[in-house]
Amino acid sequence: MGKKNKNKKKGKGAEKTAMKTDKKLAAKQKKMLKKLEETDIVEVIGRLEEEEARIKILSEEICATPPTPRSNFTLVAHPEKEELILFGGEFYNGQRVCVYNDLFFYNVNKNEWKQIRSPPGPAPRSGHQMVAVATNCGQLWLFGGEYASPSQLQFYHYKDLWMMSLKTRKWEKITTSNGPSARSGHRMIVFKKKLFVFGGFYDNNQSYNYFNDVHIFSLESYTWLQVHIEGPVIPSPRSGCCMASTPDGNILVWGGYSKAKIKKDVDRGITHTDMYFLIPNKSEQDSTKYKWIAAKSNGYKPLPLSGVSCTSAPNGMVYSFGGVMDVDENEEDLHGQFGDDLLGLDLNSLTCHLIDIFKKKKIPSKHPKMCLHETLSKAVNTTSATTTDGTFTVRVAGPGVSASTSLEMPSFFPNYKSDSLPSPRMNAGLCVCKGILYVYGGLFEEDNKQYTFNDLYALNLHKPIEWKVIIPNNMNVHDWVDSESSDSDGEDDGEDSGEETKSESEMETE
């Protein structure tokens, strides 16, 4: 009995220490916010929602220019028309972040952008999820996401669910119990009149948590169903993964990103490369019982990337584009290598294909990606493998491995080239409409500068020979503010105000 009480006291002591640490971080953040004269994030969200509630008139305006540059937005195809629908996202100029809740419709045949202002709708957010369904002449369903303050010192995560009727162009907030907790970076798909939500993360700049839970919303009863996961297998927590429904009625999840504590005050990002099926209990009609089983794809082995854009097509294929791979140049510096590969995954055979249409110059004997691709592909599909040249370190998590695996090797991607179509990037918008694959926006980092795009490309999936440029890439579409010089006035002596902000690749994937 005495030993049990002793352990209990230890637990309370650890909890007390954690609370003290949180209080110190909160006090430091409060001091910095006061210096920046930044309003508390909860109060900001309240004002934004009040502003939305005051909008009473539905308006539609044809845009003279396309939407502004952004990443972490959603792009979906209209279920009945040849239109693309874009909502939200964020933009960072090196000093401040701006988060949007604007809604755009792009008419493919007219090459025309139209902005819709519908009362009252979701507050500004990024890292959310949105899907389109054909019910009642078309609906949009949107869940979750996050809002970042201009300084990125404060974050607010949503757990609200919204539906827009594409016929009336009006939003409706769906209020029901037993839904997912507040989060962003999750994934949501629609399958058999149900919304499936998986994963995501919550981060308030003092602590963070990644999720691997499953939630199902019925589009018939407008309720969150009670999901029962059976069996010992379960994916590790993650955000920014890929998710799709298969022709035989299962849900496929693969990849993603998470963070883990390495030591005190040190976190390490982990890129996941494993794949799982979520399988329903088919012995019971309308069962809410599911189990996870591990899976493995065939064919081309992708590089371990996070921030990958992914979309499903009616032909039983899932397409993914771009992404970033974090590489240690030394013990202190983290460098993001960006990709521009377009991949196709056949959901019937689980075979992955590299769709090579970028017209790049091939130099097999010197091209680092071509030389080392086979080595890396083998490494990410084993629990431990190491190749060394003493220059770079890549950290990945393979099947059944929650911790990172170290792998040292040189760069895998060529340097950025402006004539690459589309150029390397992460967190772009990707969707398929009437057999055409579209890529919009996203971001790319070179040296200490971050480029955020608003370019648009189209590829005919029936004859994928070359990309059609609808909006060309303009690397100078916006100015970049040097964060070092701009932040110098807002720092305390001996403190680095940049410690509280998210790194580029974390904004990413999430």
Q: What are 251-279's pLDDT values in tens digits?
A: 999 999 999 887 777 888 899 999 999 99
Q: Residue 421: what pLDDT? A: 85
**Weakest-pLDDT range from 17-26, 40-49, 69-78, 466-475:** 17-26
| Interatomic CA distance for residues 69 and 339, integer angstroms | 19
Residue 41's SS3 state is helix
**Weakest-pLDDT range from 240-249, 282-291, 420-429:** 282-291
| 363 — pLDDT class (breaks 50, 70, 90) | very low
CB 381 within 8 A of CB 398: yes
In sequence order, the 6+-apart residues with CB closer than 8 A to the CB of 15 are none
* Parallel/antiparallel/unpaired status of strands 228-230 and 289-295: parallel
Measured CA to CA in angstroms, residue 210 lies from 167, 179, 213, 502 at distances of 37, 17, 10, 15
Cα-based torsion angle of the residue sequence 501, 505, 507, 510 in order, rounded to the nearest 10 degrees = -130
Token pair, residue 85, equals 């629908």
Please give the average per-residue pLDDT across 446-455, as a whole number.
91
**Weakest-pLDDT range from 33-47, 225-239, 282-296, 374-388:** 374-388
Average pLDDT score over the chain: 81
Q: Residue 263: what pLDDT? A: 77
Token pair, residue 220, equals 């018939």
| 287 — pLDDT class (breaks 50, 70, 90) | confident
Q: Taking 70 as the threshold, does the pLDDT of residue 479 lie above it?
A: yes
Cα-based torsion angle of the residue sequence 369, 374, 378, 380 in order, rounded to the nearest 10 degrees = 20
Domain ranges of the chain: 301-358+423-451
Number of helical (H) and strand (E) elements in the chain, helices listed first: 5, 37
| 140 — pLDDT class (breaks 50, 70, 90) | very high
Tell me: the pLDDT tens digits for 305-356?
Answer: 999 999 999 989 999 999 999 876 554 566 788 999 999 999 999 999 999 8
Supply angle C-alpha 207, 210, 212, rounded to 5: 155
Task: Map tokens 């992914």 to a residue.
Answer: 310
Q: Taking 80 as the threshold, does the pLDDT of residue 297 lie above it?
A: yes
Q: Residue 261: what pLDDT? A: 83
Residue 410's SS3 state is coil
| Interatomic CA distance for residues 270 and 393, integer angstroms | 12
| 394 — pLDDT class (breaks 50, 70, 90) | very low
Q: Residue 420: what pLDDT? A: 60
Tell me: the pLDDT tens digits for 48-87?
Answer: 999 999 988 999 999 999 999 999 999 999 999 999 999 9
Instruction: Tell if the pTM clears 0.85, that is, is over it.
Output: no
DSSP assignment letter at 340: -
CB 415 within 8 A of CB 424: no
In sequence order, the 6+-apart residues with CB closer than 8 A to the CB of 115 are 60, 61, 63, 102, 103, 104
Please give the average per-residue pLDDT across 92-113, as a whole number.
96
Q: Residue 357: what pLDDT? A: 76
